[in-house]
């Protein structure tokens, strides 16, 4: 019996469909109190004083905490540059400032949510405004106002790649394309706004029930800020209503733990509950980075790309979050899945006083891919070549060197993926060339509707990159006598809605050769499960699968040795990766990749500027589809999310304020806006080190969509768009400017 | 969180009017509540008492009269969408209902609430305007019938008195060959406040254009008619050039603002585009095209 490769029914399906699954906001404990957070609501200021007297006098207020109450007033996933609470009396330098509107200034704990809100509004804060620095090009200048005065400049991340000789490369080029691209902010807009419950458990552990992506990292960050041993913190993830990278960094975790702990110290042993409104969620958690990319590529008339020079600036917002890691990825992805002999890349992560930017599906890949694929499409046009044919002359192959001077890990299949997608989208290989056999159909009757087809492809790393420590743990206990009656799998991997837990169970069943119903999963509770790293970087199935296989093997060995229960605990460590060399960028960036190609057909209404996605074909090499239905779900979900990014989602910030503070002004696609047809082509070329051959795939379908759509728009109306979202008005104005519309 | 309020559940229209008749601005009717609850949550409105009129029998149902239909003010958008009577008399209103909000909201939102709320973007308004609809207003003491065009005053302002409710909306019938259509341009296909919308009603008379009416939404403080454009077309043979001129006049009659959804310039341009598109479409449909 084979359990891997089956579209098994998700183990969480019934509870979720029946509304019985419990999300963080659904947990209640007897005697619980309610918390509200006072957000700065101004982009940049020194907090001179916080007067809580009036607020404290409101009946029902239990405690109000400010910076002086935080044992170690700093946190951060990559570097601890953010105060838990901003204000005077802090034990960290410059923690008396707010740097974006969502910085947290005080927390109020009260008998009811209403009282907490009232008390929050009664807190009087004396601010001294500081310069608002929202333009990344200004922030990067040496004389710019320093947002973190303890640092030399607002630039907090920088990478260089130097491969070959860039001048020589351009000398060899017959055509050179130069472009300035920019990509917008995007909000995760997950269904479940941040929420949680904090309490002291029966063993005295400060416990939080929240939604996150990495229980053990949350645990560490809480322990650091509370100055408590890690073992005294417990993090539990119940059902999670979406994440997409938006829960990689802390939101309510630390303040909930702080509140429960401080109450406990005051002798008040009552749980603390918080639920953010959508507006609080919008200003309270990070967004996708806007990137500004200046780039110049050259190719020979035979169709070989010979030089690529790129400068990337990523707007990090107020704090680092994962900006440097995102930048690392973008730096690698900005030259695409192509073998280019001469490459020069300089990239920068820069602080501004806007909402921090951080992890979001694709993690720098979409920004890099937009520039790279747009350049490829423009070069193809300039060379009068078919965009698929041109790509195939340049794709990375087994053994070819990346921009960082090393080959990809074995199992390079970008060519197979590109060909499968192109074929399905109507390209044919004839007379030694690929060309579009079926041009898009326009309608005689509707002169204002123009159709076009565009193509793009990408590669996406699986797992943490550039030398970041990478590992995943799993434990399996086998119970029974003659046969295995029950297998218990302990795993921390976060089920953020992607179906990870079902995949875990399937892989455990396969590795143990035990029916699915006999696998019992204990998940995501640091009191019982070991560190498995985050549900991010398309890594969870890959890493968890390898850990589960290892644990299964150990447990089966003990089972054979008649141990009852037979227990296997295994830590999987993938091949080592290395960081960028500071001068040349030389590195072994990743241990595995997935490969993807997309063809988009669009219809442009040249009078209104409306762009409709008619047809989308997405070919993905996933190595092995552990659960094909879930793979299809990831492809369709990624495509829809990227379609929102391309055409609609418009997060408007002005002088550090947010003008789109909810889902009535920040619009995401509805079911009527998504591509009418999404064809998922699932290819299974096994990854040599993937579990059962699987590669990670949750992000990659997102990457090529925007450049495929802009290429399709170009095919339809002859305009290149180098920034987006392509709202109707934007498209209409451009058509009008170029006099292409009636 | 909603502020606290009292809820009155009158059994019939008389009782409702009694309640509202206290002329106390803190007492307001609620039908579907799809505007009111949003406004209350944001504290834009904090009425002390809500009088629930949604189930009052006199306010529900669609009545057929000889010369008109009467749509009860508490008829929902979902009911409009599946009404063959409305489809026969006012096809543009069906199109407006189709692009209205989402299925959940359509099940609750009422035509009366949409008009009483008087948003410049109220989606039923342009279609009703081009069909020469009237509103029947009742209070405890008074009853009156007004053309819809005189009902709107400005952004979310109407001539409704605090003690008055919309009882029904009258849409006249005609024997003359006619057609109507509506187009809403939003930032997405569903659940979007319109950036600009246009409705057109066209009659055919002696092979030429008879009565014609054009109305626009989201491009002025209130939904409004494009009278000059209508005049230009009445009695004429419809050439593409004439249609284009009329569309220009409609655009000129609009006075849009720039906001987060769109610039004034784009909106005005869209009035032109949509008016031209609808007129062309209806002219073709009615075999009136002279090109
Ligand atoms: C998610 C969402 C999407 C929406 N999308 C659209 C859309 O696409 N197009 C659109 O036009 N609108 C839209 N709306 C707005 C709203 O749904 C409509 O305006 C709806 O028709 C209001 O009707 P109601 O019955 O819910 O009004 P209510 O909220 O009950 O009342 C609205 C106002 O009218 C008054 N009122 C109600 N009935 C009467 C009456 N008979 N006589 C006098 N006064 C009365 C109330 O006192 C109140 O001031 C949307 C709203 C939401 C929440």
Q: Do A74 and A82 touch, CB atoms closer than 8 A?
A: yes
Structure tokens at A98: 């707010």
Reduced to 3 states, what is the DSSP secondary structure of residue B183? Answer: strand
**Phi-psi label, residue A380: left if phi above 0, alpha if psi -120 to 50, beta otherwise:** alpha
The pLDDT value recorded for residue A31 is: 97
Q: Give all strands of the β-sheet with A45-51 in edge-to-edge order.
A: A97-98, A45-51, A124-129
Locate the chain A residue with the closest alpha carbon to B195.
Answer: A729
Last-in-domain residue among B172, B193, B211: B172
Nearest Cα of chain A lies from the Cα of B227 at a distance, in angstroms, of: 24
How far apart are alpha carbons A360 and A314 in whole angstroms? Answer: 14
The pLDDT value recorded for residue A359 is: 98
- Encode pLDDT of A38-74 as tens digits: 999 999 999 999 999 999 999 999 999 999 999 999 9
Query: Which 173-192 residues of chain B touch chain A by CB within 8 A?
Result: 185, 187-192
**Strands A593-605 and A449-461, sheet pairing:** antiparallel
Task: Say if residue A351's pLDDT is above 90.
Answer: yes
The pLDDT value recorded for residue A1 is: 58
The pLDDT value recorded for residue B291 is: 86
Helix axes A705-717, A628-647, angle to 10 degrees: 50
Q: What is the mean pLDDT of residues A239-243?
A: 98
- What ipTM did this prediction achieve? 0.95
- Encode pLDDT of B129-188 as tens digits: 999 999 999 999 999 999 999 999 999 999 999 999 999 999 999 999 999 999 999 999
- Give kind and range of the element (H or E) at residue A415: helix A414-424
* Interface contact A608, partner B, CB < 8 A: yes
Q: What is the mean pLDDT of residues A139-160?
A: 97
The pLDDT value recorded for residue B282 is: 97
How far apart are alpha carbons B229 and A715 in whole angstroms? Answer: 37
How far apart are alpha carbons B254 and A261 in whole angstroms? Answer: 60
Tell me: do B74 and B129 sit in the same domain: yes
Test mutation, A113, A120, A446, A608, chain B, max B CBs within 10 A: A608
Query: What CATH number is associated with residue B82?
Result: 3.30.465.10
Subunit contact A670:B102, Cβ cutoff 8 A? yes
How far apart are alpha carbons A125 and B92 in whole angstroms? Answer: 54
> Whole-model pTM?
0.97
Pick A670's closest partner by Cβ from B190, B262, B274: B190
Give the number of beta-carbon pairs within 8 Å between A and B.
Answer: 45
Tell me: do B29 and B96 sit in the same domain: no
The pLDDT value recorded for residue B119 is: 98
The pLDDT value recorded for residue A445 is: 75
Q: What's the B174 CA to ligand 1 centre distance in angstroms? A: 29
Pick A673's closest partner by Cβ from B185, B189, B274: B189
CA A183 to chain centre: 15
Reduced to 3 states, what is the DSSP secondary structure of residue A456? Answer: strand
Q: Which residues of B touch A448 (CB under 8 A)?
A: 277
Which residue blocks in B48-83 are alpha helix, DSSP H?
Answer: 77-81
Tell me: do B168 and B72 sit in the same domain: yes
Domain count, chain B: 3
Bridge partners of B210, per DSSP, are none
Q: What is the mean pLDDT of residues A255-278?
A: 98
Tell me: do B76 and B133 sit in the same domain: yes
Confirm whether B183 is domain-assigned.
yes
Residue A590 CB contacts under 8 Å (≥ 6 apart), including other chains = A409, A461, A462, A463, A465, A577
Place of tokens 């008055």: B164
Site to probe by mutation for ligand 1, drawn from B10, B25, B30 as the one with most ligand atoms within 8 Å of Cβ, is B30
DSSP string computed for A581-639: PTTT------S-EEEEEEEEEEEEETTT--EEEEEEEEEEE-SS-SSHHHHHHHHHHHH
Query: What CATH number is associated with residue B219?
Result: 3.30.390.50
Residue A111's pLDDT band (cuts 50, 70, 90): very high
Name the percent of chain A lying above pLDDT 70: 99
Q: What's the A277 CA to ligand 1 centre distance in angstroms? A: 23
Range with the poorest average pLDDT among A205-209, A294-298, B266-270, B285-289: B285-289
Q: What's the B117 CA to ligand 1 centre distance in angstroms? A: 6
Tell me: do B198 and B244 sit in the same domain: yes
The answer to whether the peptide bond before residue A565 is cis (omega within 30 degrees of 0) is: yes
- Domain enclosing residue B24, as ranges: 6-52
Confirm whether B290 is domain-assigned.
no
Test mutation, A652, A672, A739, chain B, max B CBs within 10 A: A672
Q: What is the DSSP letter of A440?
A: P
Confirm whether B30 is domain-assigned.
yes
Tell me: do B66 and B134 sit in the same domain: yes
Residue A739's pLDDT band (cuts 50, 70, 90): confident
Confirm whether B1 is domain-assigned.
no
Tell me: do B161 and B229 sit in the same domain: no
Query: What CATH number is associated with residue B25?
Result: 3.30.43.10
CA A366 to chain centre: 10
Q: Which residues of A touch B193 (CB under 8 A)?
A: 664
Task: Say if residue A101's pLDDT is above 80.
Answer: yes
How far apart are alpha carbons A368 and A308 in whole angstroms? Answer: 13
**Domains and their CATH numbers in chain A:** 13-18+466-572 (3.30.365.10), 31-130 (3.90.1170.50), 287-465+582-737 (3.30.365.10)
| Ligand 1 closest atom vs CA B76 | 25
Subunit contact B188:A729, Cβ cutoff 8 A? no
Last-in-domain residue among B140, B172, B204: B172
Tell me: do B28 and B130 sit in the same domain: no
What is the overall mean pLDDT for chain A? Answer: 97
Confirm whether B291 is domain-assigned.
no
Residues A302-335: b if buried by 16+ CB within 10 A, e if exposed = ebbbbbbbbbbbbbbbbbbbbbbbbbbbbbbbbb
How far apart are alpha carbons B154 and B137 in whole angstroms? Answer: 18
Q: What is the DSSP letter of A542?
A: H
Tell me: do B164 and B64 sit in the same domain: yes
The pLDDT value recorded for residue A575 is: 98
DSSP string computed for A281-337: HHHHS-EEPPEEEEEEEEE-TTS-EEEEEEEEEEEEETS-TTHHHHHHHHHHHTTTT
Tell me: do B163 and B183 sit in the same domain: no
Subunit contact A729:B263, Cβ cutoff 8 A? yes
Reduced to 3 states, what is the DSSP secondary structure of residue A178? Answer: strand
Q: What is the mean pLDDT of residues A715-736?
A: 97
Q: What is the mean pLDDT of residues A259-288?
A: 98
Residue A437 CB contacts under 8 Å (≥ 6 apart), including other chains = A426, A427, A428
Confirm whether B221 is domain-assigned.
yes
Last-in-domain residue among B172, B192, B208: B172
Rounded to the nearest 5 percent, the helix, strand and coil shares of chain A are: 25, 25, 45
Confirm whether B250 is domain-assigned.
yes
Nearest Cα of chain B lies from the Cα of A352 at a distance, in angstroms, of: 23
**Phi-psi label, residue A284: left if phi above 0, alpha if psi -120 to 50, beta otherwise:** alpha
* Interface contact A738, partner B, CB < 8 A: no
Residue A443's pLDDT band (cuts 50, 70, 90): confident
Q: Do A353 and A688 touch, CB atoms closer than 8 A?
A: no
| Ligand 1 closest atom vs CA B39 | 29
* Interface contact B263, partner A, CB < 8 A: yes
Locate the chain A residue with the closest alpha carbon to B102.
Answer: A670
């Amino acid at each position: 019996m084979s359990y891997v490769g089956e579209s098994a029914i998700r183990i969480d399906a019934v509870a979720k469909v029946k509304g019985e699954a419990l999300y963080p906001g659904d947990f209640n404990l007897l005697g619980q109190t309610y918390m509200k957070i006072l957000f700065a609501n101004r982009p940049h200021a020194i907090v001179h004083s916080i007067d809580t007297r009036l607020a404290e006098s409101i009946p029902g207020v239990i405690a109000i905490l400010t910076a002086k109450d935080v044992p170690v007033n700093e946190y951060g996933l990559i570097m601890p540059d953010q105060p838990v609470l901003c204000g005077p009396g802090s034990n960290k330098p410059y923690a008396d400032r707010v740097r974006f509107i969502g910085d947290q200034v005080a927390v109020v704990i009260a008998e009811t949510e209403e009282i907490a809100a009232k008390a929050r509004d009664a807190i009087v804060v004396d601010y001294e405004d500081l310069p608002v620095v929202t333009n990344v090009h200004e922030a990067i200048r040496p004389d710019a106002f320093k947002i973190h005065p303890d640092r030399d400049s607002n630039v907090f991340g920088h990478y260089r790649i130097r491969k070959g000789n860039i001048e020589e490369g351009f000398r060899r080029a017959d055509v050179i394309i130069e472009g300035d691209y920019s990509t917008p902010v995007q909000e995760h807009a997950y269904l479940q706004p941040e929420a949680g419950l904090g309490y002291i458990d029966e063993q005295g552990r400060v416990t939080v029930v929240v939604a996150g992506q990495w229980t053990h990292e949350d645990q560490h960050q809480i322990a650091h800020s509370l100055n408590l041993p890690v073992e005294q913190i417990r993090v539990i993830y119940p059902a999670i209503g979406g994440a997409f990278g938006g829960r990689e960094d802390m939101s309510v975790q630390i303040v909930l733990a702080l509140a429960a702990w401080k109450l406990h110290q005051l002798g008040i042993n009552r749980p603390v509950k918080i639920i953010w409104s959508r507006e609080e969620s919008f200003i309270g958690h990070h967004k996708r980075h806007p990137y500004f990319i200046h780039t110049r590529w050259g190719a020979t008339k035979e169709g070989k790309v010979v030089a690529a020079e790129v400068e990337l600036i990523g707007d990090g917002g107020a704090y680092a979050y994962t900006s440097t890691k995102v930048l690392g990825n973008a730096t690698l992805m900005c030259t695409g899945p192509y073998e280019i002999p001469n490459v020069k890349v300089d990239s920068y992560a820069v602080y501004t006083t806007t909402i921090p930017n951080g992890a979001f599906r694709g993690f720098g890949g979409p920004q890099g891919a937009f520039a790279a694929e747009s350049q490829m499409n423009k070069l193809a046009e300039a060379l009068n070549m078919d965009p698929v044919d041109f790509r195939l002359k340049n794709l990375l192959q087994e053994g070819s060197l990346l921009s960082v001077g090393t080959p990809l890990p074995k199992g390079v299949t970008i060519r197979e993926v590109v060909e499968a997608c192109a074929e399905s989208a109507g390209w044919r290989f004839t007379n030694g060339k690929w060309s579009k056999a079926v041009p898009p159909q326009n309608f005689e009757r509707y002169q204002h509707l123009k159709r076009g087809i565009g193509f793009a492809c990408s590669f996406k790393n699986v797992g943490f990159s550039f030398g970041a420590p990478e590992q995943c743990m799993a434990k399996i206990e086998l119970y029974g006598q003659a046969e295995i009656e029950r297998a218990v799998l302990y795993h921390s991997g976060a089920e953020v809605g992607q179906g990870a837990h079902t995949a875990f169970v399937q892989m455990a069943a396969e590795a143990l050769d035990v029916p699915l119903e006999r696998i019992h999963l204990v998940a995501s509770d640091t009191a019982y499960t070991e560190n498995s790293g985050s549900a991010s970087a398309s890594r969870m199935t890959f890493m968890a699968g390898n850990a589960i296989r290892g644990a299964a093997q150990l447990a089966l060995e003990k089972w054979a040795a008649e141990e009852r229960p037979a227990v296997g605990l295994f830590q999987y460590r993938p091949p080592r990766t290395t960081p960028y060399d500071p001068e040349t960028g030389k590195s072994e960036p990743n241990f595995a990749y997935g490969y993807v190609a997309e063809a988009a057909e669009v219809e442009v209404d040249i009078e209104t500027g409306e762009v409709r996605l008619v047809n989308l074909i997405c070919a993905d090499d996933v190595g092995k589809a552990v659960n094909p239905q879930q793979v299809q779900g990831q492809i369709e979900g990624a495509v829809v999310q990227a379609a929102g990014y391309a055409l609609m989602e418009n997060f408007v910030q002005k002088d550090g304020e947010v003008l789109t503070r909810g889902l009535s002004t920040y619009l995401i696609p509805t079911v009527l806006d998504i591509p009418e047809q999404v064809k998922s082509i699932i290819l299974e070329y096994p990854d040599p080190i993937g579990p059962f051959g699987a590669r990670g795939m949750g992000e990659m379908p997102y990457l090529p969509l925007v450049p495929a759509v802009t290429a399709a728009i170009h095919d339809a109306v002859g305009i290149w768009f180098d920034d987006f979202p392509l709202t109707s008005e934007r498209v209409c104005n451009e058509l009008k400017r170029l006099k292409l519309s009636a | 969180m909603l502020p606290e309020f009292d809820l009155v559940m009158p059994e019939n229209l008389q009782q409702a009017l009694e309640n509202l008749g206290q002329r106390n601005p803190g007492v307001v009717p609620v039908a579907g509540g799809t505007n009111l609850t949003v406004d209350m949550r944001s504290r834009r409105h904090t009425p002390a008492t809500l009088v629930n009129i949604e189930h009052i029998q006199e306010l529900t149902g669609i009545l057929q009269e000889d010369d008109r239909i009467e749509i009860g003010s508490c008829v929902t958008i979902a009911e409009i969408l599946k009404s063959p009577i409305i489809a026969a008399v006012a096809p543009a209103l069906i199109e407006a209902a189709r692009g209205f909000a989402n299925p959940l909201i359509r099940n609750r939102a009422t035509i009366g609430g949409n008009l009483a709320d008087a948003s410049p973007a109220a989606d039923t308004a342009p279609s009703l305007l081009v069909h020469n609809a009237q509103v029947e207003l009742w209070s405890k003491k008074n009853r009156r019938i007004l053309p819809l065009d005189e009902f709107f005053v400005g952004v979310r302002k109407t001539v409704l008195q605090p003690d008055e409710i919309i009882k029904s909306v009258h849409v006249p019938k005609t024997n003359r060959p006619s057609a109507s259509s509506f187009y809403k341009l939003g930032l997405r296909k569903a659940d979007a406040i319109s950036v600009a919308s246009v409705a057109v009603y066209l009659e055919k008379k002696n092979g030429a254009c008879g009565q014609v009416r054009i109305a626009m939404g989201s491009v002025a403080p209130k939904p409004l008619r494009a009278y000059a454009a209508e005049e230009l077309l009445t009695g004429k043979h419809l050439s593409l050039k004439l249609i284009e001129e009329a569309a220009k006049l409609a655009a000129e009659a609009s006075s849009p603002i720039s906001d987060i959804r769109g610039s004034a310039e784009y909106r005005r341009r869209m009035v032109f585009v949509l008016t031209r598109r609808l007129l062309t479409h209806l002219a073709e449909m009615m075999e009136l095209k002279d090109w």
